Amino acid sequence: MTLKHFNNLAYEEIGEENSKTILFLHAKLLDKWIWKRQKEDYDKYFKGFHCIFLDLPNHGDSISKEEFSIDKSSIEISEFINHIISNKDIEKVNIVALGIGGSIAIEILNENPNIIDNLILSGLEIADYKESESDSIANGLAKAQSEYLNEKSDMFITKAYLRYFGIKKEHYNDMEKILDISINDERKIAFESLNYTIPESLKDNKDIIEKDNILIIYGTKEDLNCTKSAIDLKSIFTNAKLVEIIRGNHLWNIIDHDLFNTIIRNFIRDHHIEDNSKINILE
């Protein structure tokens, strides 16, 4: 695939001749490489769709001189979506988002609900309240981590990230890309991720919170905050579907890509989720 750019955003795409579009947004500190199993399985699961794999601002090949923020990212990606909609003469796109990509997608939904069709969110991190940045626990943890990791070799750091995300050594070269992110960017991204709160304006918008085209997913091997965040989000989006992935990790789209791809395709096509031994359909 050819690397393309829209303003400061970098992306790759497959099936651009198709009108029904899926935009994939990755988790924090990673980039579009995490969708490699979705790209490889395109013909099996996503043929007939236009799939776009985007690097979030300040990640991967999306170079930005400004600090990362969820608000800024949501504006930039909304502009990108409107660009796609205009060029393809369509009304909406589907979004599949992991982690902080999901936080950005929620902001887009709140500000531009008419450009999103189905929304699939996995591994969310939502806070009950936002700390001040100077006193943030997230910043403190990121600072301590960076100081500790500065004393370690690149190999040690990369292997630590592999363990953290629960993925195999075959992704070592992909995970190494995290080392290119500056310490300051890491701290800012960590703060934004761990301090994201749902906009009050969204909670009061009946047209949004009653949508039935939202799927919320969490894995039982993820951080407990991801479980709490998914359940809390379901309490806001009352008609959303909530699914638990048994032994699912943060990057289960790589670990169990057949299950991930099946769930994504079926939900976007007809909101159908086929029950099996690997998932619990909770709502």
Supply the CATH number for residue 118's domain.
Answer: 3.40.50.1820
**Least confident piece of the model among 149-163, 192-206, 244-258:** 149-163
Q: What is the pLDDT of residue 1?
A: 80
Nearest to 59 by CA among 208, 182, 240, 210: 182
DSSP assignments along 47-82, one per residue: TTSEEEEEPPTTSTT---SSPP-HHHHHHHHHHHHH
Mean pLDDT of 254-271: 96
Q: What is the pLDDT of residue 146?
A: 54
Q: What is the pLDDT of residue 148?
A: 47
pLDDT at 263 over 70: yes
pLDDT at 149 over 60: no
pLDDT at 138 over 60: no
pLDDT at 106 over 90: yes
* Residue-range definition of the domain harbouring residue 34: 4-125+198-281
Mean pLDDT of 72-87: 97
Between 37 and 141, the more confident residue is 37
pLDDT digits (tens, 9 = 90+) for 31-43: 999 999 999 999 9
Between 187 and 158, the more confident residue is 187
User: Any bridge partners for residue 245, and if so which?
Assistant: 219, 279
Q: What is the pLDDT of residue 150?
A: 56
In a domain, 66, yes or no: yes
* Residues in Cβ contact with 121 at an 8 Å cutoff, skipping those fewer than 6 apart: 97, 102, 105, 106, 214, 215, 216, 217, 230, 233
- Which pair of structure tokens corresponds to residue 181? 């992110």
pLDDT digits (tens, 9 = 90+) for 182-239: 878 888 898 999 899 999 999 999 999 999 999 999 999 998 899 999 999 999 999 9
Between 141 and 209, the more confident residue is 209
Q: What is the pLDDT of residue 177?
A: 82
In a domain, 145, yes or no: no
**How many domains does one find in the chain?**
1
In a domain, 81, yes or no: yes
Nearest to 216 by CA among 46, 102, 113: 102
In a domain, 252, yes or no: yes
Q: What is the pLDDT of residue 172?
A: 83
pLDDT at 11 over 90: yes
pLDDT at 134 over 90: no
Q: What is the pLDDT of residue 209?
A: 96
Q: What is the mean pLDDT of the chain?
A: 90
In a domain, 36, yes or no: yes
pLDDT at 86 over 50: yes
pLDDT at 256 over 50: yes
In a domain, 168, yes or no: no
pLDDT at 135 over 80: no
In a domain, 243, yes or no: yes
In a domain, 175, yes or no: no
What CA–CA distance (Å, rounded) separates 234 from 123? 13
Q: What is the pLDDT of residue 186?
A: 85
pLDDT digits (tens, 9 = 90+) for 228-245: 999 999 999 999 999 999
What CA–CA distance (Å, rounded) separates 164 from 222? 10
